[in-house]
Amino acid sequence: MRQHARVVIIGGGAMGVSLLYHLAKRGWSDVVLVEKHELTAGSTWHAAGLCTHFAHNATIMEMRAHSVRLYREILTAETGLPTGFHASGALRITRSRDRMDEFRHVQGLGRFVGHDFHILSPEELKQVYPLCLTDGIIGAIYEPNDGHVDPTLATNAMAAGARSRGAEIVRHNPVLAIERKASGEWLVRTTQGDIVAEHVVNAAGTWCREIGAMMGLDLPVVPMLHQYVVTDTVSEIAERIAAGASELPIIRDPEESWYLRQERDGYIVGPYEKSAQPWAIDGVPPEFGMELLPPDLDRVEHIIALAMERVPALANAGIKTVVNGPITFTPDANPLIGPAFGLDNAWLLTGSSMGVMEGGGAGRFLADWIVDGTPPSDALAIDPRRFGNYADRDYRVDRAIEGFGLQFGIHYPYEEREAGRPRRTTPALDLQKSQGAVLGAAYGWERPNWFAIGGVDRNPPLTFRRPGWFEAARGECLAVRDGVGAIDLSAFSKFEVGGPGASAFMASLGANRPPTRQGRIGLVHVLTAKGGVASEFTVTRLGDDWFYLTSAAVAERHDEDLLRSRASAFANVTIDNVTERRGVLAIMGPRARDLLETVSEADLSNAGFPWFSAQIIRVAGIKAAALRVSYAGELGWELHVQLAQFGKLYDAVTRAGRRFDLRPFGIHALNAMRLEKGYRAWGADLTTERTPLEAGLDALVKTEGRDFIGREAMLARVGDSAWTMVLLEIDDDAERLPFYAHAVLQAGRPVGIVTSGAHGFRTGKTIALAYLRPGVSAEGLSVSILGKELAARELREAPYDPGNLRPHGLHAAQPVAFTLA
C-alpha cells in the first residue's frame, strides 16, 4: 500500500469506486481507495440496481444520466467487463392530477437537459406494460432510457478501469483515525499502515458518520431499513421470455409507494412504508459488513398487496428471497457531494439513498470538482453545506423518517415539510403567528412565507398551479406598493470582516469593488475560478477595516467556507459569523419613512440618509444598524439588531405601524416584487454555471485595474460563447404560473430554462427570469409550463418603476392592469 497519495478515498461502494475511476480518468492516478471489507460492502451489494433519469433538479438528472451511460456502454467498452445493465425502460403510473402535473414538469426539465420523457394515456400504458391493470389510472410517464444494473458487476468494472490507470484499491483495511498534519496534509491511519494525502474523501456510505466523526464532522445522515422481495418464477413472464418478448419496464406506483422490476423470469417488488424504520442511529455495529437484517414483511405486506392488485401476475409468484438492509438518508433525501464544512481538502461523497443510481455520475461530479476547484454544474441541491448546525440528532432522524415515507412523494413547488421543526427562531415568532403568519423554513430558521388574514385558509392544498396563497400575496404586495409593509429577514447569513488586512481582502473578493467610504453599501459577486457566481454579498463598510456582509440564508456554511478560504491569503483578517446573533426587520413602501420617524429621531431624509447607505440609529430605543436598501424596489430600510432585541423591535414597529396600516408580508410577496424589478436571486438565477455578465449584471462588474479570482475566465465567456439572461413577460394563464425549471422554446426547440418566476401583482404581469443558450435571440419565445406553451416576450427594462424612482422616495403613479381574477 502506498504511504503517500494525492487523494485517499474511504469506502468501496459504488460512489467511492466511481470517484476513484473518474479521478484516474482525469489523470490523477496517485489515488488510493481503502475499504474495511470487500468492495460493495454496506448497501451497494444488496441494492436493487434501479437506474433512472427522473429528477426535479437538472444537476441530479444529469448525474443520473451519466450513471446510465457509464453502466450501459462506457465501462464495458473501456474494460471489456460486463455491468449487467438492462435497458428495460421505466414507468411511473398515477391516479393523481397533481402527479400528472409533476410528470409534465419533469418532462419539461428533461426536454431542456436533453432527456426524453413520454406522457402516456392509460391505453398507451397498457401497450407498454400489458400485465398492468389500468383501472383508475389517468396517465403515466415513460422513461425509455432507464433500466437496471448489477451493482457488483458495475462496481468491479469501475474498479478495473481505475486500476488500469494506476489507482490503488486496498480491501480489508479499516480506517482507525484521521488526523490533520501541521503541513495541512491528511494522515489516514489504517490497520495496514498510515497514508499521507493532500485530499481525503469520506465515501463510507453506511459508516459515513463514523468516518465523519474521525474528521471532526457531525453528518446529518441516518441508515434506514429498506426491504424488497425477490419472487420465484412468474408464469406470465416465463411465457413472454419463451415468446421472445422484450423485458418488461420497471414500473412504479408513487401513490401506493412501490416499485416492480423483472428479475429473470420473476419479479423484484420494493415497497417504501410510511412508518419508516431507522437503524443504528448512534453507530453502526463494528462487525457489520455484508449482512442483512431479518425479514420484517409485516411492515410492508399491505403495500405488496397493492402491487399485486395492480399487476395480478405478481400474486401468483412465491417468495424466493427477502432483502432487508440499510440505505442512508439525509434530511432532504439528496446525497452529500462536495466540500466538508470548515476543513480544507476534505470532501464528502455519501448520504445517497440511491447510491448505485447516482454513483456513476456522482463520482464524476466530485472528481471534476476536486480537479478543477469548482463544481461542473450548480451544486446547491447536493452540496453538504446546505445543512447547518441545526441539523442535530433529532432533526436528522425525524427528517429521514419523513423522507423515507415520502420517497415517492410529490415534489411541489413552495412545499414546506414539517418534520424536525422548529430549529432556529426569533423572539418575534409568537407575534408573527398571532398575525396569521404561515411559516416556512430557511436553513433552519422559521420565517413567514405569507400571512393568512381575514379568514383565509392557512393550509391550502399544495399544487403545481395557482397557489392557495395567491390572493394573500396580492394583498401584501399592494400594501407595500401603496403604504408600508414589514418583513422578517433574520434568516440572512451575516458576517463581520475586520482586521488590518480587511480592506485589501475585500478589494480582491469579487467582481465589484467594495464600498470605499464608511457607511456606504455595495453588492459584490464572488466568482469561481471558471468565472461563475459563487456567492453574492451585500457589503456595508462600517469602518476603515470593518465590513458587514449579508448573503442568502441557505449559503451560511458555504459562504463562511468561501470567506475563510479566500481570506487565508491575507494577513490579519478576521471572519466572524454573526448569523445567530442578529435579527433583521425590513420596512418597505412609500410610507416607510413616515413610520420610522415615529419611532426614531434619526434624520431619514434623502439628504440625511441617502439610498444605499447605512447608519447606526436607534429605533424604539433599540440600537440598530439601518441599511437603506430594498429588495422589493420601494423606499425602505433594513434594521439589523441584536437577536435578543428583535422581538421588542418587531412589537414596537407593529404598534407604531397601526396608524399607517402597516401590513406584515412574507417571502412569496417579496419574491414577486423582486422579479418585477428584475432583481436576480442567488441560488436560483445566480449560480456557478453562469458569469455575472451572462446574468446581465454588467453594472456590478468592475475589472479595470483589478485582479480577482475568475476575472479572466469571466471575460472569456462573452459573445458567441455566452448565455444570456432575459426578463420575460409570459402570457397570462388562469392556472399555470412560472416558478422554476421550465423549458424556454423557440420554434418548438428548447433554447433556454426559466430560473425563477411569479405573477407580479403591482404590474399585473406574469414574469420570469430565464437563461438562453449562446446565439439564441429573444424573438419568438414561449415557455412550456406543465405541458402548455405560453408565449413570452423579453422586457428590456424592469416593468415596475423602470426609472428606479421609488427607492429614492420619488415615486410616480404607476398604471396597473390586473389580468388574473
- The model's confidence at residue 818, banded by pLDDT at 50, 70 and 90, is very low
Cα–Cα distance for residue pair 444/463, rounded to 1 Å: 24
Which cell numbers in the block locate residue 563? Answer: 470567506
What's the average model confidence in pLDDT over 356-382? 98
pLDDT above 70: residue 456: yes
pLDDT above 70: residue 816: no
What is the predicted pLDDT for the residue at 455? 82
In the chain, the largest separation of any two C-alpha atoms, in whole Å, equals 88
Computed over every residue of the chain, the mean pLDDT equals 96
Kind plus residue range of the DSSP H or E element containing 52: none
Which cell numbers in the block locate residue 716? Answer: 472569456
What is the predicted pLDDT for the residue at 821? 30
pLDDT above 60: residue 387: yes
Beta-sheet pairing, 90-94 with 250-253: parallel
- Within 8 A by CB and 6+ apart from 80, the residues are none
Cα–Cα distance for residue pair 451/531, rounded to 1 Å: 40
Cα–Cα distance for residue pair 271/251, rounded to 1 Å: 12
What is the predicted pLDDT for the residue at 810? 84
Which cell numbers in the block locate residue 376? Answer: 461542473
- The model's confidence at residue 814, banded by pLDDT at 50, 70 and 90, is very low
Query: Which phi and psi angles does 341 have, rounded to 5°?
Result: -60, 130
Whether omega for the bond prior to residue 278 falls within 30 degrees of 0, making it cis, is no
pLDDT above 70: residue 478: yes
What is the predicted pLDDT for the residue at 815? 37
pLDDT tens track for 620-664: 999 999 999 999 999 999 999 999 999 999 999 999 999 999 999
Cα–Cα distance for residue pair 47/327, rounded to 1 Å: 9
pLDDT above 90: residue 819: no
pLDDT above 60: residue 820: no
Name 766's bridge partners: 730, 759
DSSP 628-683: ---TTSSSEEEEEEEGGGHHHHHHHHHHHGGGGT-EE--HHHHHHHHHHTT---BT
pLDDT above 90: residue 454: no
pLDDT tens track for 37-84: 999 999 999 999 999 999 999 999 999 999 999 999 999 999 999 999
> Listing from the earlier edge strand, what are the strands of the sheet with 622-627?
614-619, 622-627, 636-642, 582-588, 485-488, 663-664
pLDDT tens track for 148-190: 999 999 999 999 999 999 999 999 999 999 999 999 999 999 9
Q: Are 538 and 700 in contact (CB under 8 A)?
A: no
- The model's confidence at residue 315, banded by pLDDT at 50, 70 and 90, is very high
pLDDT tens track for 185-232: 999 999 999 999 999 999 999 999 999 999 999 999 999 999 999 999
b (16+ CB within 10 A) / e for 279-290:
bbeeebeeebbe
pLDDT tens track for 90-142: 999 999 999 999 999 999 999 999 999 999 999 999 999 999 999 999 999 99
Compute CA distances 16 → 182, 457, 650, whole Å: 27, 48, 49
Burial (CB < 10 A; 0-12, 13-18, 19+), residue 605, is: exposed
pLDDT tens track for 736-766: 999 999 999 999 999 999 999 999 999 999 9
Percent of the chain with pLDDT over 70: 99
Name 771's bridge partners: 725, 753
pLDDT tens track for 416-444: 999 999 999 999 999 999 999 999 999 99
Burial (CB < 10 A; 0-12, 13-18, 19+), residue 201, is: buried
